[in-house]
C-alpha cells in the first residue's frame, strides 16, 4: 500500500486542501495518521468496522484492546455515549479540548464493536490540536485512533516516527510537526462510590492527578469503593501489554541521586567489559557523569514536562544506534512525572530497581 503524506506548511489555503483530502480518506473508510497534542494517532471512522479493522492490522494490535474515539464537539458525543453525570460534565468543561480520555457507557450500535473490544463502555476525548480538530470536523466521523506506532513500540511524537513504524501499512499521514505533551492522554472512568461519583485513573497521562483532584475525589487502589470484583467495570485493557518499549532492554533506577549514579556507572563498566552497547537516559543535571555508547537527556529534573516531551524520541534513538542495554534515571511520580515514570517502567517490563 502506498502511504500518502501531507506535509502541512505555513500556507493556510494549502493546509486547508490537505486536511480536506485527509478527511475525505477517513470518510471513505481509509486509515490516516494525524498529530494531536499528546502523540500522533492512527485514525479511522469509528462506525466502519472494515476501516477500524485496518487499524488493528497495521499496528499488529491485540483485538481485546479498545480504541479511544476522538471528537471535535460535544454534539458528536451525544450520538456516541449514554447521558453522562455531573462529574463527567465538569471534567469535560475543564479539560476538553485536552489530554483527558473519559470512559463512559456507550450507546448501543454507535460505533463498531471492534472499537470497544466488546466492552459496554467507550473511551472518548476531544484533542487540543487545531489540525486534529479540523480533520475530525471535516470528516464528519467520530475518529477511532490509538497511538500511531506498531504495537509495543514507543508512541510517535513526530510524523517521522509514524513513517518508521507504519509506512506502507496505512493510507495516509498528516505531518504537522512535533506532538505537544509527548505522552498519551490520561484515561479515567467515573465510579459511583459510597459518597457519590468519583474518578478512577486507568492510565496516568497529560492531565495530572493533581489537576483532576481539584474537580473530584480520586479513588485510590486501597479505597474500598475502588476495589473491583469480577462484575465490576473493566480496567484499561491496554495496560496489561508490554508497551512503549525500545528494542534494547531498559532498567529504571530509583534512589538518592548519588547512589543511582554510582550504581549505573558500575553497571556500565561491567557491561562494557562484556562488550555490550550501552545507553543512559539521564536528567540534564547528571548527563555528564556517565560514559556509555549513548547518553541522552531529554530535560531537566526541574522541568519534567520537557523530559516527558522527549521521552519517546529518546527511546527510539537508542534503537537507531543499536543500544542493547539502557539505564534510565527515575524521577518523582508527581504531576506529569507520574505518567513519565509509568511509561518508563512499562518500557522496562515493569522492573524498577531501588538502590
Ligand atoms: O493521547 C492519547 O490517548 C493517544 C492519542 C492518539 O489520542 N491515543 C492513545 O491510544 O494513546 P492507545 O490506543 O494507544 O491507548 C488507549 C488506552 C489503552 O490503554 C486502552 O486499553 C484504553 O485507552 N481504553 C480505551 N477504551 C477503553 C475503555 N472503554 N475502557 C477502558 N480502557 C479503555
Ligand atoms: Mg498506544
Q: How far is the CA of 102 from the centre of ligand 1 (A)?
A: 10
Query: How many residues make up the chain in this entry?
Result: 355
Strands of 100-105's sheet in order across: 4-7, 172-175, 32-34, 41-45, 143-144, 68-70, 121-125, 100-105, 186-193, 196-203
**What's the CA gap between 299 and 305, in Å, rounded?**
8
How far does the centroid of ligand 1 lie from the alpha carbon of residue 213, in Å? 21
337 Cα–ligand 2 center, Å: 18
Confidence of residue 178 (pLDDT cuts 50, 70, 90): very high
- Residue 187 in contact with ligand 1 by CB distance below 6 A: yes
Average pLDDT, integer, range 150-179: 97
Give the model's confidence band at 193: pLDDT under 50 very low, under 70 low, under 90 confident, else very high: confident
**Taking 50 as the threshold, does the pLDDT of residue 230 lie above it?**
no
Nearest to 173 by CA among 289, 325, 323, 2: 2
Question: What is the pLDDT at residue 239?
Answer: 62
Query: Which residue is listed with cell 490537505?
Result: 18
Cα 255-260-265 angle, rounded to 5 deg: 170
pLDDT category of residue 233 using cuts at 50, 70 and 90: very low
Whole-angstrom CA distances from 297 to 75, 108, 178, 318, 328 are: 43, 47, 18, 12, 10
Q: Which of 187, 200, 234, 243 to mutate to test the pocket of ligand 1 (most atoms within 8 A of CB)?
A: 187
Report the pLDDT value the prediction gives residue 52, as an integer from 0 to 100. Answer: 98
Contacting residues for 61 by C-beta, under 8 A, at least 6 apart: 55, 146, 151
184 within ligand 1 shell (Cβ under 6 A):
yes
**Residue 235 pLDDT:** 63
Q: 34, 71, 184: which to mutate for ligand 1, most atoms within 8 A of CB? A: 184
The confidence score (pLDDT) of residue 231 equals 34
Bridge partners (DSSP) listed for residue 196:
193
The yes-or-no verdict on residue 355 having pLDDT over 90 is yes
Residue 234 has pLDDT above 70, yes or no: no
103 touches ligand 1 (CB under 6 Å): yes
Averaged pLDDT for residues 97-121: 98
Query: From the CA of 65, how far away is ligand 1's center (Å)?
Result: 8
Q: Kindly tell me if the per-residue pLDDT of 225 is higher than 90.
A: no
For the entire predicted model, the pTM comes to 0.94
Task: Choose among 176, 126, 185, 197: nearest CA to 155.
Answer: 185
9: CA distance to ligand 2 center in Å?
A: 27
Residue corresponding to grid cell 465538569: 90
Mutate to test the pocket of ligand 1, among 37, 66, 120 (most ligand atoms within 8 A of CB): 66
Q: What is the pLDDT of residue 315?
A: 96
Q: What is the C-alpha to C-alpha distance for residues 222 and 236, in angstroms, rounded to an integer? A: 18
**Ligand 1 pocket residue status of 141, Cβ below 6 Å:** no
Question: Ion ligand 2 — residues with CB under 5 Å?
Answer: 147
Section 151-172 average pLDDT: 97
| pLDDT(217) > 90 | yes
Q: Over the stretch 258-288, which tens digit does the pLDDT of each residue have? A: 999 999 999 999 999 999 999 999 999 999 9
Distance 228 CA to ligand 1 centre (A): 20
Amino acid at each position: 500500500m502506498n502511504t500518502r503524506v501531507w506535509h502541512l506548511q505555513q500556507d493556510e489555503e494549502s493546509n486547508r486542501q490537505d486536511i480536506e483530502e485527509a478527511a475525505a480518506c477517513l470518510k471513505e473508510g481509509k486509515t490516516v495518521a494525524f498529530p494531536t497534542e499528546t502523540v500522533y494517532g492512527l485514525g479511522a471512522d469509528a462506525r466502519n468496522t472494515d476501516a477500524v479493522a485496518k487499524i488493528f492490522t497495521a499496528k499488529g494490535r491485540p483485538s481485546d484492546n479498545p480504541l479511544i474515539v476522538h471528537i471535535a464537539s460535544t454534539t458528536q458525543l451525544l450520538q456516541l455515549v449514554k447521558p453522562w453525570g455531573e462529574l463527567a460534565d465538569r471534567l469535560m468543561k475543564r479539560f476538553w479540548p485536552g489530554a483527558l480520555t473519559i470512559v463512559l457507557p456507550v450507546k448501543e450500535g454507535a460505533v463498531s464493536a471492534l472499537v470497544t473490544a466488546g466492552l459496554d463502555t467507550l473511551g472518548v476525548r476531544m484533542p487540543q490540536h487545531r489540525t486534529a480538530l479540523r480533520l475530525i470536523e471535516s470528516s464528519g466521523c467520530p475518529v477511532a485512533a490509538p497511538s500511531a506506532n506498531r504495537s509495543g513500540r514507543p508512541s510517535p511524537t513526530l510524523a517521522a516516527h509514524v513513517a518508521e513504524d507504519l509506512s506502507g501499512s496505512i493510507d495516509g499521514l498528516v505531518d504537522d510537526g512535533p506532538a505537544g505533551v509527548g505522552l498519551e492522554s490520561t484515561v479515567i472512568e467515573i465510579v459511583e462510590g459510597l459518597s457519590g461519583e468519583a474518578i478512577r485513573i486507568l492510565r496516568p497521562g497529560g492531565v495530572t492527578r493533581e489537576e483532576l483532584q481539584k474537580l473530584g475525589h480520586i479513588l485510590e487502589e486501597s479505597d474500598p469503593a475502588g476495589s473491583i470484583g469480577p462484575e465490576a467495570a473493566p480496567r484499561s485493557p491496554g495496560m496489561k501489554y508490554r508497551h512503549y518499549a525500545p528494542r534494547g532492554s531498559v532498567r529504571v533506577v530509583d534512589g538518592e541521586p548519588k547512589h543511582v549514579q554510582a550504581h549505573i556507572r558500575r553497571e556500565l563498566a561491567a557491561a562494557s567489559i562484556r562488550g555490550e552497547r550501552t545507553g543512559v537516559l539521564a536528567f540534564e543535571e547528571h548527563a555528564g557523569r556517565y560514559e556509555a555508547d549513548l547518553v541522552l537527556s531529554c530535560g531537566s529534573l526541574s522541568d519534567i514536562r520537557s523530559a516527558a516531551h522527549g521521552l519517546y524520541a529518546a527511546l527510539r534513538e537508542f534503537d537507531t544506534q543499536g543500544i542493547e542495554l539502557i539505564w534510565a534515571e527515575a524521577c518523582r511520580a508527581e504531576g506529569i512525572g507520574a505518567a513519565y515514570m509509568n511509561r518508563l517502567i512499562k518500557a522496562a517490563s515493569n522492573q524498577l530497581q531501588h538502590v
